[in-house]
Amino acid sequence: MSDALQIDARVDITTVVCPVTFVKTKVALEELEDGQVLEVRLNDGEPIQNVPRSLKDEGHKVTNVTKTEDGTWLLTVVKGGLSS
Amino acid sequence: MAEVDYATLKKGGFMRQIQTDQFSMRLKVIGGQLKAEHLQKISEVAKKYGKGYIHLTSRQGVEIPFISLKDIEEVKKELSSAGVSIGVCGPRVRTVTACQGSTICPSGAIETSALAEELDTRYFGRELPHKFKIGITGCKNNCLKAEENDLGIKGGISPEWNKQDCTYCGVCEAVCPVNAVKVDKDKSELSFTESACVYCGKCVKSCPSSAWQGKNGYFLSFGGMFGNEIKEGLHLLPLLFDKEKVFKAVDATVKFYQNNGKGGERLGRTLIRVGSGGLKKEVEEAVQ
């Protein structure tokens, strides 16, 4: 289990669909510095299938993914975490 | 007036229309790709000899309708001068269809365009008992519907988990479409049910610590058809990791079909009549 990280910002992308899901995530990441942590709330299905891969492709490190009771997912990602 | 040899015209890609002496001219397209200069020439020909439009077929082909019998030789010459080739029809290897594969698509597990070219060079137009369709799709999403072809090729990624690199973040479990992966974050344990895996590679592509590594390969299907009779192609081989083995399997399939197929009988029908065991044995031996 990864250590609980301090969350620097949160974004909810459960109200949008692909490709806006990742666009919204990227916009939220742009507000942060490298090494800071964003928590993303996202839907099951396409968003959880695609967003983690897109984050990886852009050099951000997903550190944890948890399914919540309402069926959505909470994902924590470290900005630029794969580039260091 | 000389007798019109419609059979030869059809073989050469000229499909007879309901209108007298009018033909829909089938062009050769490989893997769904046409060069811009070819499109330009096709456009010119459609305007000059046809009715100013083209028809896109269900298998990535292009046809120019309303070509008059008297213009056929002229049209052939004009298209050929720009490097546009004519398609085929009838009992032979047809257009090799393909999605854009890993060159373009984030989901792609195999390169498809060059593979389509290679398969076309090897097999296009080859005479067989009946039509023989080859289709290539880059991944599990199956945009090109591999299994509806006489021979389908589908890209896949065989995943392998390396414990030492795993952070047990849970991404792989979250992205796996068939629940083949289970992660216990508290115990730092991961279980993978290989038999449930569909080779989609989502775990590999999403894993933030590269604990999941993948080996890309080709998943073949045999004897599919989706016309008068509908039959899903059979998976007779495991994932193949070597393109040369794919060619060997296709060679063996074509040979089997030539030896066992009856005229006018699709491969799928042959497999129903004689059983698929013989083909399975031959393709297994071919890829050894």
The pair of structure tokens assigned to B27 is: 């062009």
Could you tell me which chain B residue has the CA closest to the CA of A64?
B169
Residue A66 to residue A77: CA distance in whole angstroms: 12
> Among A51-55, B3-7, B80-84, B95-99, whose mean pLDDT is lowest?
B3-7
- Mean pLDDT along residues B121-146: 95
At which residue do the structure tokens 């073989």 appear? B11
Task: Look at residue B72 and tell me whether its pLDDT is greater than 80.
Answer: yes
Domain housing B232:
91-288
Better pLDDT: A84 or B233: B233
In a domain? residue A1 = no
The enclosing domain of A19 has a CATH number of 3.30.110.40
In a domain? residue A4 = no
- Mean pLDDT along residues B93-101: 96
Residues B168 and B136 in one domain: yes
pLDDT confidence bin for A84, thresholds 50/70/90:
low
> Among B116-130, B141-155, B198-212, whose mean pLDDT is lowest?
B198-212
Q: Which of A65, A75, A78 to mutate to test the interface with B (most CBs of B within 10 A)?
A: A65
- Residue B26: the pLDDT is 94
Query: Using beta carbons and an 8 Å cutoff, which residues of A are at the interface with B?
Result: 1-2, 48-49, 52-53, 55-57, 61-67, 73, 81-82
Among candidate residues B51, B81, B111, the one where a domain is terminated: B81
- Mean pLDDT along residues B61-83: 95
The pair of structure tokens assigned to A9 is: 């910002």
- How many domains in chain A? 1
Task: Look at residue A2 and tell me whether its pLDDT is greater than 80.
Answer: no
List pLDDT tens digits, range B229-255. 999 999 999 999 999 999 999 999 999
In a domain? residue A16 = yes
- Residue B89: the pLDDT is 84
Task: Look at residue A1 and tell me whether its pLDDT is greater than 50.
Answer: no
List pLDDT tens digits, range A24-67. 999 999 999 999 999 999 999 889 988 998 999 999 999 999 99
**How deeply is A32 buried, as exposed, middle or buried, from its count of CB atoms within 10 A (0-12, 13-18, 19+)?**
middle
pLDDT confidence bin for A69, thresholds 50/70/90:
very high
pLDDT confidence bin for A5, thresholds 50/70/90:
low
Residues B164 and B200 in one domain: yes
The pair of structure tokens assigned to B252 is: 């063996």
pLDDT confidence bin for B166, thresholds 50/70/90:
very high
Active site residue A35: no
Share of chain B residues as helix, strand and coil, in percent rounded to the nearest 5: 35, 25, 40
Residues B199 and B113 in one domain: yes
Residues B67 and B101 in one domain: no
- Mean pLDDT along residues B272-278: 97
List pLDDT tens digits, range B184-195. 999 999 999 998
> Which amino acid does the sequence have at B74?
E
The enclosing domain of B71 has a CATH number of 3.30.70.3340
Helix (H, G, I), strand (E, B) or coil at B52: coil
Could you tell me which chain B residue has the CA closest to the CA of A49?
B175
pLDDT confidence bin for A83, thresholds 50/70/90:
confident
Report CB contact under 8 Å: A64, B170: yes
- Mean pLDDT along residues B267-279: 97
In a domain? residue A3 = no
Measured in degrees and rounded to the nearest 5, phi and psi for residue B140 equal: -60, -25
Among candidate residues B81, B114, B134, the one where a domain is terminated: B81
The enclosing domain of B185 has a CATH number of 3.30.413.10
Q: What is the pTM of this model?
A: 0.84
- Mean pLDDT along residues A72-81: 95
Task: State how far the alpha carbon of B197 is from the alpha carbons of A45, B201, B253, in Å.
Answer: 17, 9, 26
- How many domains in chain B? 2
In a domain? residue A53 = yes
Residues B183 and B286 in one domain: yes
Measured in degrees and rounded to the nearest 5, phi and psi for residue B20 equal: -55, 130
Among candidate residues B81, B107, B129, the one where a domain is terminated: B81
Measured in degrees and rounded to the nearest 5, phi and psi for residue B156 equal: -150, 160
In a domain? residue B156 = yes
Residues B38 and B140 in one domain: no
Residues B18 and B98 in one domain: no
In a domain? residue B124 = yes
Could you tell me which chain A residue has the CA closest to the CA of B168?
A1
Strands (E), B146-276: 151-161, 181-184, 189-192, 212-222, 225-226, 230-231
